[in-house]
Amino acid sequence: MGATQSTTETFEREPVEVTERITADGSSRWPVEPGRYRLIAARACPWANRAVIVRRLLGLEPVISMGIAGPLHDERSWRFHLDPDNRDPVLGIEYLGEAYRKADPDYAAGITVPAMVEIASGRVVTNDYAQLTLDFSSQWRAFHRAGAPDLYPDAHRGEIDEINEQVFHDVNNGVYKAGFAKGQAAYEKAYQALFERLDALSERLASRRYLVGDTITEADIRLWVTLVRFDAAYHGHFACNRHKLTEMPVLWAYARDLFQTPGFGDTIDFAQIKQHYYGVHTEINPTGIVPVGPEVTNWLTPHGREQLGGHPFGDGTPPGPPPVGEAVPPLGA
């Protein structure tokens, strides 16, 4: 996603503007169809990271291709500066905004990732990050890999939705509310809500391996994408500095457990994460200096969470290695 700001003291995230859905039942004008759409993501962005993880876990890589916007962008939007000729090799565009304006020549709202783009027309179909991963689980079910997990099981949807709502306001968006606050009171309110929620999550996860049930669900994915960026970006850059993740024993072990689970850590590029936050948010970091630290190889240390039981993929199996061209650099590279 791209951070959007209000003119008040409190950070307010603009709503997504392209909220059509890709469905299997004919309820929208965009049908589920292998090879028709391209997921545009960015390694830096937590909101896009959610879609990348779900696509990996469900094995949708053969039917939904993926383009990666680089960590740096300007007022013209996310750009493909890591690709040859600075253009997405499938869509042929330099800036993601070009695909938004293919959908609406007068589009003036946020140009965000993740976005699903129809390849033939080059137009954005949806940037509804909250609904997108749920639709990967439900609407694209016919194309899930054998052994794909159920990330949004019917029996637990109410509980998952409740946790997701809390995590969104206080954690996922909470770090942004702290980092982009324009006044001390707004910052302190967001800071307090963030760490109160992290404390509650620590208590919940002290006796259970995953947030809901005994398998990985959508709730774990949504929390984890913020945790994995916490020490690299939010602790220092966004002044969320009561504790580092590595100083919160339960959440640190939980985050390492998922990092070491196929489909999670193999989507993370810490260098791009830092390049984005420290290089783009010039109002917070005007020098553009990107920190060298923190140490990241500690993500591979033992976590001990297996003793809590649980089965990461339920009755299913882990995904295979990332497709050619989608692998991230090894830790410490």
Active site residues: 45, 176
Quote the CA–CA distance of 177 and 97 in Å, as a whole number: 25
CA distance linking residue 167 with residue 159, whole number of Å = 12
Given a contact cutoff of 8 angstroms between Cβ atoms, the answer to whether 129 and 16 are in contact is yes
Classified as helix, coil or strand, 104 is coil
Query: Which residues make Cβ contacts (< 8 Å) with residue 300, sequence separation at least 6?
Result: 256, 259, 260, 331
Residue 275, both tokens? 């390049």
Contact 182, 8 (CB under 8 A): yes
Sequential DSSP letters for 194-230: HHHHHHHHHHHHTS-SSSSTTS--HHHHHHHHHHTTI
**Cis omega (within 30 of 0) for bond into 114:** yes
Q: Rounded to an integer, what distance in angstroms lies between the CA atom of residue 327 and that of residue 195?
A: 33
